[in-house]
Amino acid sequence: MKIVTIKDIYEEVLYTIEIPKDKEAKVAIEQLVKEGKSLDYADLSDYNLRRAILNEAKLYGASLKRADLFRASLKDADLQEVDMRDSKLVEADLEHALLCDADLSGSCVKDTKMLFTDLRGCNTKETKLYKANISGANFEGNCIKSGVILKEDGYLGFTSPIKLNTYNTYKGLYIKYKNNIVSEEKFLDIIKDHPVEKAYLSMIKTAKYKFGI
């Protein structure tokens, strides 16, 4: 057997758990979650939590910086004010999770399930939302770049005829183009005389109609 020590973000010991030598630390985390124990403010930075079952986990204010959460299940988890910078959430399940005021900057959210996830006030600068299922997710108050904040229902992604992400912000329509988020005015300058300018303009028109701009 071996001992896993879990500390909080202030270096105080929260739990010490004995697990089999051949098991990873994630087994200890899963056990605590299963028992309904609080992991609020826990420091799980750099943890390997691939495929971990953490449904309804209590992780308020915890640190999951650079954590590997590939295919982890975090349904209905309390992740409010969690630091998830540069974490890997590829194919993770965050259905109905609370991520209000969490920091997701630089994280990879590819193919992630975020059905009805509450993301109000999140920092999503440089967050990679590629093919994420965000039906019903609330992005109100998200900071997508310095000084640019999303309104409620502030995201609309297109995959056809061209991939394009559009954002309804308090500063008007913003568009993601080649990993940069730019204003509508700047985007129109970029696509002027572009081979697929008409397709871009059509998607912008659709986005503005949907956002009521």
Q: What is the pLDDT of residue 91?
A: 93
Residue 186 lies in a domain: yes
Q: Report how far apart, in Å, the C-alpha atoms of 3 and of each of 21, 24, 154, 180 are.
A: 9, 11, 45, 45
Task: Please report whether residue 4 resides in a domain.
Answer: no
**What would the two tokens of residue 22 be?**
């051949």
2: left (phi over 0), alpha (psi -120 to 50) or beta: beta
Q: One digit per residue, pLDDT tens: the chain, 213 residues?
A: 899 999 999 999 999 999 988 888 999 999 999 999 999 999 999 999 999 999 999 999 999 999 999 999 999 999 999 999 999 999 999 999 999 999 998 898 888 888 888 888 888 877 776 666 666 677 777 778 788 888 877 888 887 788 888 999 999 999 988 778 899 999 999 999 889 999 999 999 999 999 998
Q: Is 172 exposed, middle or buried (0-12, 13-18, 19+ CB in 10 A)?
A: middle
Cα dist from 201 to 11, 58, 204, whole Å = 52, 44, 5
Residue 10: inside a domain: no
Residues 6+ away with beta carbon under 8 Å from 72: 49, 50, 51, 52, 53, 54, 89, 92, 93
Which CATH number belongs to the domain containing residue 199 in this structure?
2.160.20
Is there a contact between 145 and 133 (Cβ–Cβ < 8 Å)?
no
Residue 2 located in a structural domain: no
Domain that holds residue 83: 46-211
Asked, for residue 98, whether it belongs to a domain, the answer is yes
* 100, part of any domain: yes
Structural domains of the chain, count: 1
- Amino acid at position 174, single letter: Y
Asked if residue 31 is part of any domain, the answer here is no
Q: What is the pLDDT at residue 164?
A: 87
- Whether the Cβ atoms of residue 10 and residue 41 lie closer than 8 Å to each other: yes
pLDDT of residue 143: 78
Answer yes or no: are the C-beta atoms of 17 and 25 closer than 8 Å. no
Spatial CA neighbour of 153 closest among 167, 172, 132: 167
